[in-house]
Amino acid sequence: MAKKTILVILLFFTWGFIFNSVNAEETNNWNSESLYEKDDTPVVTITVYVLRDPTSKTTESMSVDYVDSYTIQNTNTQDTVQAIKRITGLTVIQSGSTGQQTSVFMRGTNSNHTMVAINGVAIKDHSTTGGLHDIGSDFIKHVTAIQVVKGSQGTLFGANAVGGVINFITTGKYENSISTTVGSNNTKSLTLKVHKYINNHSISFTADGTTSDGISVAPTGTEKDGFDANNFTLDTESKYDGFDLRTTIMKRTSDADLDSGTSDDLDYTSKSDMNLYQVGSKIDNSLGFSNFTFSRTEYDREYVNGTEIDTYDSNSNTFIFTNTIQNEEIDFTPGIEYEQFDGTFNNTGSYTSSVDKEGNNASVFLNSNVNVGEDFLYSIGIRHDNPSLFGDYTTYRLGGVYTVTNNFKLKSNYTTAVKTPTLYELYGADSYGYSGNANLQPEEAQTIDIGFEYKFNNHSLDFVYFDTDLDNMITYGNSTYSNASGKSNRHGAEIKTTSTINENVFLRNGLTWTIAQDSNNKQVTRRPRWQSFSAVDWILGKSNNSLEYVYMGEHLDIDSSTYATITKPAVGVANFHTKYEVAKDTNIVLSLNNITDKTYERPDGYNQDGRNFMLTFKKNF
């Protein structure tokens, strides 16, 4: 850890020594959030602040990607899985087609190293073995954007943000509309969005439902495994003199048919409900402003397989208070955060397992951004957590940006995070002799990344190299969990480019190279060394069109029958989307996915969609 800290500091001051005498051009805002530009104007611009450091400077040194509502709507994107496959640095593994359980490996870290948040507050299902939120159940037509922050972010987001954070943004305004979708496998969807201003109040309501017969998850199966998902979201915002109040209420249900991964299972189903309640306020004061946020998340899941019924329940209450003090050169945000949580699950049948426990965590933090002259921006942070179930820990952050010219920026970060033990790892038990280990301590991660952003003519290039060390890893053996000795390493590089060919043609490309090794320097499973995304967007008359190619390279996996380690071949899938304006307030969107009808399993034993189409009719009012 000390070596990496010293290296980052030396890099920052080396930049200052080398470039201090350079007459940099006047800096401008870096619009990395835009899908592409049309007539030199961003089609979509998103401004999302990190809740625990609510200034726009926070993420300038970081690798941050966005999936905006423009992309979601105009590519017939149904769920989170389809949306984030376009983002560099992410490996998304879904155990079957839409609606099935999903794991995300960010920058080669483990699936339980990706934190999921809504409006900046973590949502954790403490009733699961790994403490994971399953994004395979998230259907996202209600979100304004998905923010993906890559790298260890413990100071800004708290525990489990080891590989990074997937942050759903629901707050925001949108056009009133109703849309209906039909597609392959008897897929049907209906979405209603209503937004209204009433004096100084803003009210946004979304209701959407999607159902499908699906495909057989088992590669040799014949029974289709469908899903039925519904979501209701209500956002409000009220503005008064020096005081803002915002609320979010979300109710989500997702039902799915399941298979075992090797053959049809005719009576295996899941039902997953999640409720979210958030209230927040911003109060101006003489030094800056204060933010208070309360968030409650409720999970209620049930799995039925014949006569066996497994139930999982979890609740989390989070309180966050910050006060930001700022001027033109410096801002700093001290704050406190308190989380209370519980988790209960019961597995029945030939295999029984259970947990019934609760806990809490109190933390204090300080984040700051400092401008040094016109060219340097430093971001620093420290956070101390005091959990009730295991030892306390501290995380740090040091980031920097140097603006060399108007079109060229250097950036680097040193960040840390922890992955905390789950209730099951600490206190679980089952009928095969497993017993939890109450003495477990958090896993630790230290990440360094260095990169640059460069704009030239009508092109942009974003490059970053990352290196993450994982220590104190929680591993299973001898019917329990323990903290392993030795370090695991993840390192690699990400490259993103965008090009404006002319006013009607645009290119987007992303390439990720990742080496993910365990403490014995062996490549881990389900993390390919090479992944890429390419797209060409073009405007033709009243239509906006996109042709995409998503590539996942060769990687190791676990055989679903023998459990041996095997090599899975590379797979590339092409998709086409077109949006046509029928009238001023009416359009249709047609998507043809997996154009070449690739047949593949990811992971092994779990079938993926073949060629399929989606057709959406949307009316604004």
Residue 306's pLDDT is what?
86
Report pTM: 0.90
* Strand-strand pairing, 480-483 and 201-215: unpaired
pLDDT digits over 568-608, tens only? 999 999 999 999 999 999 999 999 999 999 999 999 999 99
The answer to whether 445 and 152 have CB atoms below 8 angstroms apart is yes
Could you tell me the two tokens for 282? Answer: 């911003």
Query: 87: which 2 tokens?
Result: 């983002």
**Three-state SS at 6:** helix
Is residue 48 very low, low, confident or very high in pLDDT (cuts 50, 70, 90)? low
Which amino acid is it at 601? E
User: What is the Cβ-side half-sphere exposure of residue 241, based on CA atoms within 13 angstroms?
Assistant: 0
Mean pLDDT of 560-575: 96
Query: pLDDT digits over 243-269, tens only?
Result: 999 999 999 999 999 987 678 888 999
Residues 104-121 pLDDT 10s: 999 999 999 999 999 999
The arithmetic mean of pLDDT across residues 457-467, rounded, is: 97
Domain of 199: which CATH number?
Answer: 2.40.170.20
Joined together, the tokens standing for residue 459 give 């092109």
Domain with 198 in it:
2-620
For residues 225 and 260, the answer to whether their CB atoms sit within 8 Å is no
For the chain, give the percent of residues with pLDDT over 70.
Answer: 91
- The larger pLDDT score, comparing residue 363 to residue 266, is at 363
User: What confidence score (pLDDT) does residue 609 get?
Assistant: 95
Domain count, the chain: 1
Strands 376-387, 225-240: pairing kind: unpaired
End-to-end CA distance of the chain: 56
| CA–CA distance, 88 with 387 (Å, rounded to integer) | 33
The tens digit of pLDDT for each residue in 289-322 reads: 999 999 999 999 999 988 888 999 999 999 999 9
Give the residues across from 114 on adjacent strands.
Answer: 164
Is residue 517 within 8 Å of 489, Cβ to Cβ? yes
pLDDT at 30: 26
- pLDDT-derived band at 1, boundaries 50, 70, 90: very low
Would you state the pLDDT for residue 4? 43
> Considering only 138-142, 457-461, 466-470, 524-528, which range has the smallest mean pLDDT?
138-142
| Beta strand spans in 306-392 (E) | 308-326, 330-347, 353-372, 376-387
Q: What's the confidence (pLDDT) of residue 351?
A: 65
pLDDT score for 39? 40
253 close to 230: Cβ distance less than 8 angstroms: yes
What's the pLDDT at 68? 85
CB-CB contact of 533 with 550 (8 Å): yes
| Mean pLDDT of all residues belonging to the chain | 89
Using CA atoms, how far residue 10 sits from 6, 27, 231, 593, in Å, is 6, 24, 49, 48
Residue 405 amino acid letter: T
Please compute, for residue 339, the number of CA atoms within 13 A of its CA located in the half-sphere on the CB side: 24
The predicted-structure confidence for 50-91, as pLDDT tens digits, reads as follows 788 877 788 899 999 999 888 888 899 988 999 999 999 999
Task: Quickly state the pLDDT bin for 8 (edges 50, 70, 90).
Answer: very low
Q: Give yes or no for a contact between 574 and 567, defined as CB atoms under 8 angstroms apart.
A: no
Residue 443 is which amino acid? E
Number of Cα atoms under 13 Å in the Cβ half of residue 567: 6
Per-residue pLDDT, averaged over 211-218, amounts to 94
Residue linked to tokens 């001290």 = 334
Q: Among 125-139, 155-169, 325-339, which is the least confidently predicted range?
A: 125-139
Q: 474 has which bridge partners? A: 483
